[in-house]
Amino acid sequence: MSIEVKVPVLGESVTEATVGEWLKQPGEAVKADEPIVSLETDKVAVEVPAPFDGVLTEQKVAVGDTVEVGAVIALLTEGGAGAAPAAKDAAAAPAATAPATAAPQDADASQTLSPAVRRAVLEHGVDPSTIKGSGKDGRLTKEDVIAAAKAKDTEAPAPASTAAAGAPSSAVPAAGRNVERVKMTRLRQTIAKRLKSAQNDAALLTTFNDVDMSAVIEAREKYKDVFQKKHGIKLGFMSFFAKASVLALKDIPAVNAQIDGNEILYHDFVDISIAVSAPNGLVVPVVRDCDKLGFAGIEKAIADYGKKAKEGTLTMEDMKGGTFTISNGGVFGGLMSTPIINPPQSAVLGLHRIEDRPVVRNGEIVIRPMMYIALSYDHRIIDGREAVTALKTIKEAIEDPTRILIDL
C-alpha cells in the first residue's frame, strides 16, 4: 500500500514552495527521516524526510513545479527496495550506447547533492565522488566543489595545440562563449524583489565614517586565548560591532524602528540580522536580544548560524524578525559600499576591509588599521542628524571599547 507524502507546514505566512531537487528516485529505498526532496521557499531550502522505511514509488511533481502546503508530492511504499525503472532500462540497453564517461552528477549515486552543489558540479565538471565533503554528515558543499575545481585546474597540464600553423582561427571554437540559462531559485527571486522594493519604497540614504580598529585588534590579541578557553568560541570583530550598535540603537530609537502603514513601531529590544553567505545566496539569520547577550553569546550565535548556512539547515524561525542588520563586505575584500536596508527594517550597517592607512594623531602622521563603515537608512523616519549620530556612536565605541562596558 502506498502512502502519500505531502508538503509540510513551511512556516508562518509561507504557503507554497518550489521543487528544487529530488534526492531520491522512484524505486530507490529510503530510510525513515532520510530526505527525499528539497523544496525552496522564499526564505530557506527545506528537505522533506521520509516518514518511514520503504521505497519511493512515484514522484507526483517535477523539479521547478510550485507546490502548496499540504499538496501530495510523492508516494511511498513500506517494505523492501525495488529496482528503479531507470536502472532497468539502462540494464537492457546495448553496451555500445553507454557513454565512455559518466556525467559528473552521477559519479556517486550514494550522495545526495543540494541544487547549489549540483549546479556547481555541472559548471566545473568535477566528479563529486572524489571530493571529501565538509558539510553535515560529510555532505558536499558548494565551497567543496569550487575548491576541488581550483585544485584540478592547478594540477592539469596545459593542453597541446592541435591546430596546424596558419590554420584559420575559426577552426578552433572560442573558449568561454557558452551561455547557460538557469531558472532563478525562489530564494533568489525573493531577494531580488525585496531589494528592489526597498529601493522603490524607502527614501534610501547612506552616511559614511571611518574607524580606527587599533583598540579592538589589541583587545582581541590580548584576550583571544583566554576567551576561547573559557567560552569555547573565538572572539571576533562582529560581537564588538553588534554591542556598539546596541549603544547607538538605544540612543537613537528611530534607527531601530520600522514603518507600519501610517505608524512607526519602536522596539525596546535589539534583534540584529547578521548577513551570512549561503549556497543559495545571502541570508540574514537573526541574533536575538543582542542588548542582553554578552560577547560570547553573540559569537556563539553567529558561529551556529554560519555553520547552518553552510549546511543549508537554516530554518524559518532563524530568519524571522530582526530590527537592524549588519553586513560585512570586508570578508570579500570590499573597501566601501552603500548597503541596502532589509525591509521592513529602517537601517543597515555595512562593514568593510581593514587596511593600514596614514592618519593624523596628535599632529603627527601615523599608520593605523582603518575601516570604512556605512549606515544606509530610510530617510522617511530617520533624519540625517540621527543617522550621523548613530554611526558616530558606533565609531567611538569601536575606537574605545570601554564605552561598551560602561554604556556610554
Select which of 65, 106, 225, 383 is catalytic: 383
Given the residues 65, 225, 379, 400, the one annotated as active site: 379
Residue 267 among the catalytic residues: no
407 assigned to active site: no
What's the per-residue H, E or C state across the chain?
CEEEEECCCCCCCCCEEEEEEECCCCCCEECCCCEEEEEECCCCEEEEECCCCEEEEEECCCCCCEEECCCEEEEEEECCCCCCHHHHHHHHCCHHHCCCCCCHHHCCCCCCCCHHHHHHHHHHCCCHHHCCCCCHHHCCCHHHHHHHHHHHHHHCCCCCCCCCCCCCHHHCCCCCCCCCCCCCCHHHHHHHHHHHHHHHHCCEEEEEEEEECHHHHHHHHHHHHHHHHHHCCCCCHHHHHHHHHHHHHHHCHHHHCEEECCEEECCCCCCEEECEEECCEEECCEECCCCCCCHHHHHHHHHHHHHHHHHCCCCHHHHCCCCEEEEEHHHHCCCCCCCCCCCCCCEEEEEEEEEEEEEEECCEEEEEEEEEEEEEEECCCCCHHHHHHHHHHHHHHHHCCHHHHCCC
Residues acting as catalytic residues = 379, 383
